[in-house]
Amino acid sequence: MSTIATTPASIESQWSLPYKGHVGMLCLIGAESAIFTIFVVAYIYYIGKSLSGPTPREVLELPIFASICLLSSSATIHLAVGALRKASYGSFRLWWFLTLVLGSIFLFETGREWHHLIYDKGLTISTNLFGSTYYSLVGLHAFHVTVGIFGLITILLLALFRKVQQQHAPNVDTFAMYWHFVDTVWVVVFTVVYIIGR
């Protein structure tokens, strides 16, 4: 994780700057937050403005189980990174795998909800303003979860091949920051779509 090259040790010991992985990921999270904010603003602006078609109250059910899964996955990934820092590789792999499972369950549940909305309730992205804003906001979040799942799988595979070592903890932690971000966004999306919007 050292970022400074060869200089006399006396100077280097006093000169430490932040870890570039964390800074970079925070910047990415900032940009992504701005994108999500626009989608949320569009959602809120169009609440109640659909000219026809199903309304949120008529068709939305609270995705409690899916939310519990996703939010718990933040806890499991936190435990995984902690285990990696202590070089408990077995624990790390286990908690990491659980994170992957919980995230996948969330995606699966979202898919089920969408199937129900499209085929049973007749709500698609082009039905009305509610359809447009709902699928775009929840879909943007689900897309980010999917990207996160790919990342989780990649790191899991690397871990299974014993390539992930204790010194990689900061790198894995950088990825975990992304996962925590995705979970935080879900809290916002859940509140806006299923509580405020209904």
Partner 1 sequence: MSSESIALTGVHEPSRPLGNVLHSWITTVDHKRIGILYILYALLMLVIGGIEATIIRIQLIVPHNNFVSPEFFNQMFTMHGTTMIFFVVMPMLFGFGNYLVPLMIGARDMAFPRLNAFSFWLTAFGGLLLYFSFIGGNGLYGTGAAPDVGWWAYSPLTSKAFSPGHNTEFWTLSLLVSGFGSIGTAVNFIATILCLRCPGMTLGKMPLLPWLNLVTAGMVLFAISPLTAAQILLCLDRFLGAHFFDTQAGGSAVLWMHFFWIFGHPEVYILVLPAFAFISEIVPVFSRKPIFGYPIMVAASVGIGFVSFSVWAHHMFTIGMNSYANGFFALTSMVVGIPTGIKIFNWLGTMWGGKLLFKTPMLFCIGFLFQFLMAGLTGIMLAAAPFNWQLNNSYFVVAHFHYVIVGGILFAIFGAFYYWFPKMSGRLYNETLGKLHFWLLIIGFHLTFDFMHIPGILGMPRRIYTYEPGRGWEIWNLIVTIGVFFQIAAIIVFAANLVYSIFKGKLAGNDPWDAWTLEWSVPSPPPEYNFATIPVVNSRRPLWDIKHPEDPDWQYE
| Residue (of 53, 146, 61) closest to 108 by Cα position | 146
CA angle, 8 then 10 then 15, to 5°: 95
Residue 140 binds partner 1 (CB under 8 A): yes
Q: Which range binds partner 1 by CB under 8 A, 34-42, 98-106, 157-165, 173-181? A: 34-42
Least distance (Å) from partner 1 to the CB of residue 189? 14
Contact between 5 and partner 1 by CB under 8 A: the answer reads yes
From 62, 64, 68, 125, residue interacting with partner 1 (rule: CB under 8 A): 125
Q: Is the dihedral of CA 72, 73, 79, 82 positive or negative?
A: negative
Q: Binding to partner 1 (CB under 8 A): which residues in 35-54?
A: 35-39, 42, 45-46, 49-51
Decide whether 42 or 94 has the Cβ nearer to partner 1: 42
Residue 145 C-alpha from the chain's centroid:
5
Quote the least distance from Cβ 24 to partner 1, whole Å: 4
| Pairwise CA distance, residues 136 & 142, whole Å | 10
Q: To which residue do tokens 């904010």 refer?
A: 37
Taking residues 78 to 117 in sequence order and writing x for each that binds partner 1 by CB under 8 A, - otherwise, the string is: ----------------------------------------
Dist. CA 65–CA 19, nearest whole Å: 36
Sole binder of partner 1 in the list 73, 74, 133, 174 (CB under 8 A): 133
Q: Which residues does 56 contact at the CB level (< 8 Å), separation at least 6? A: 130, 134, 193, 197, 198
In whole angstroms, give the CA distance from residue 23 to residue 25. 6
Residues that bind partner 1 (CB under 8 A): 3-7, 11-12, 14-15, 17-20, 23-24, 27-28, 30-32, 34-39, 42, 45-46, 49-51, 125-126, 128-129, 131-133, 135-136, 140
